[in-house]
Copies of this chain bind each other. A is one copy, B any other.
Amino acid sequence: MDIKGFRFSAVEAAIKKPGRLDLALIFSELPAEVAAVFTTNKVQAAPVLISRRRAKNGMARALLVNSGNANACTGEQGMADALECARATAEALGLPDEELLIASTGVIGQPLPMERFRKGIQPLVDGLAVGTLDDVAHAIMTTDTFAKIERRQGEAGGSSYCIEGVAKGAGMIQPNMATMLSFLVTDAAVDPALLRSAFSEAVEGSFNAITVDGDTSTNDTALIIANGAAGNRLIEAGTPEAAAFLALLHDTLLSLAKQIVKDGEGATKFVEIRVRRAKSNADAKKAALAVANSLLVKTAFFGQDANWGRIIAAVGYSGAEMEQDRVEIRFDDVVMASSGVFAGGDAEAAGTEVLKQKEFTVTIDLHVGAGEATVYTSDLSYDYVRINADYRT
């Protein structure tokens, strides 16, 4: 079953290196609702400033996105350029300006190559006749090594509907949004307030639960456009259909979030960090993030070194309440430490075997309360350094 009432397009506008799609468009044939979240960085790119304001209206029918240039730290010229791109696209689509959102990702601090945008927009709009969401997924890639896309189907009141989405990530990935773009579309008819609350909740448990390097970017944007083309009875808050929609949306976002971590710059490991029995959920998240962002922990993962001492040390400086002689640490099912000391026996050898896998789970039980959190992260490899030392050259 295909999603109804959406069209997609992507072109090569020569913003990135030749031969790569870099300008994309998502368009709803019907009036549509939008819910969106943006970076918490105080430095915000022009497209973020514009889209944040427009998304507040709750209605949006199109999204223009480019990769290769973030249009961040570009001052008044950057704002004028973003508005011009948005206006030209809205005009070509026959939409009011306010119903078009924009997003950008790429290098900070360089002016948009406006001639290339001006030339690219009409071919982009023409491409809606033939383009696919897959094209969009490719066009938003920067240092990503694979396109990130997810599709799910749900049912509400006897009608099927789809949720589909794309994402880009790679470096600068940290909760509260990071250089991460993710665009979702659904043909479900959803109550607007429910759409917003469900999207925020789903983002919290997915994009805000991943970290690659702890940096939060200037351009992060995640949004969902819902056009109701599936013809289902409106999904309203407090119904089983609403719960099912939230679960499906969360599932879709979590899949995209995990794809981002797996494609973390230079990543060779995918690690789930679970903190259990913390004083509070917030404490659990603090501890999990400190572990996930510790360079010493991340390089130990890369080296397949069962160095649980670095993990307990990271929890110790995380700010989370803890008592060191209550801490238990497991690698998958292998108990590495209990009551804060090395578990002994064959834990070292067994733990090393766990770390040799591509994916594993680290569980940290603090035994001081009932708080829980899970975050997903990658290791830190030589390639992370290579990719980021050479990014602009």
Contacts and interface: CB of A to CB of B under 8 A. Distances in A.
Given A385-B302, A385-B380, A317 B72 contact: no
B389 A296 contact: no
List the number of copies, as a whole number: 2
A110 interface: yes
A337 B303 contact: no
Contacts of A41: 313, 316-317
B388 A382 contact: no
B215 A302 contact: no
A307 B390 CA distance: 11
A109 interface: yes
B216 A317 contact: yes
A281 interface: no
Given A75-B339, A109-B341, A384-B295, A40 B317 contact: yes
Interface residues of A, number: 63
Contacts of A315: 42-43
B73 A340 contact: yes
A337 B392 CA distance: 17
A33 interface: no
A308 B109 contact: yes
Given A73-B312, A337-B73, A296 B42 contact: no
Contacts of A300: 388-389, 391
A217 interface: yes
B389 A303 contact: yes
Contacts of A325: 75
A339 B109 CA distance: 12
Contact of A73 (B218, B302, B309, B386): B309
Interface in A251-306: 293-296, 299-300, 302-303, 305
- Ordered nearest first, which 5 A-B pairs have the shortest CB separation? A108-B309, A303-B389, A43-B316, A299-B388, A75-B341
28 contacts: A42-B322, A42-B324, A43-B315, A43-B340, A70-B309, A73-B309, A75-B340, A107-B309, A109-B309, A109-B337, A172-B296, A172-B313, A213-B295, A214-B294, A215-B296, A216-B313, A216-B317, A218-B316, A295-B384, A300-B389, A303-B390, A303-B391, A305-B390, A305-B391, A305-B393, A382-B382, A384-B385, A385-B385
